[in-house]
Amino acid sequence: QVHLVESGGGLVQPGGSLRLSCAVSGSIFSINAINWYRQATGKQRELVATITTSGSTNYSDSVKDRFSISRDNAKTTVYLQMNSLKPEDTAVYYCNARSWGGTIADFDSWGQGTQVIVSS
């Protein structure tokens, strides 16, 4: 199991930038992927970015070329750099860690979320 704590959310103007952080602790060696999701009020939760243990990344079409997911060298923090923010990016952003393989150590862990509001 792992524990995730998001931070860095806040109010930004359209076109601005914001960097979200996800502090990861626990069985980090068991993590297969770290994901960033977001959920706007009244909408379903949406996967926006993924980074695997090998360092490969993937993005949703709505954020590709604007957002970037990365990790520190110790793999204790995962970041989501958000540039050229739009009002439609307004949502609660969640960090997610997954482990798979069918073992007892498999997990699907979530942080509490951090609010991002893009408004003038």
Per-residue pLDDT tens over the stretch 79-107: 999 999 999 999 999 999 999 877 777 89
Q: Is 28 helix (H, G, I), strand (E, B) or coil?
A: helix
Better-scored residue on pLDDT, 74 or 84: 84
Q: What is the predicted pLDDT for the residue at 28? A: 86
The answer to whether residues 80 and 49 touch, using CB atoms and an 8 Å cutoff, is yes
Q: How many helices (H) and strands (E) does the chain have?
A: 0, 11
Per-residue pLDDT tens over the stretch 23-43: 999 988 889 999 999 999 999
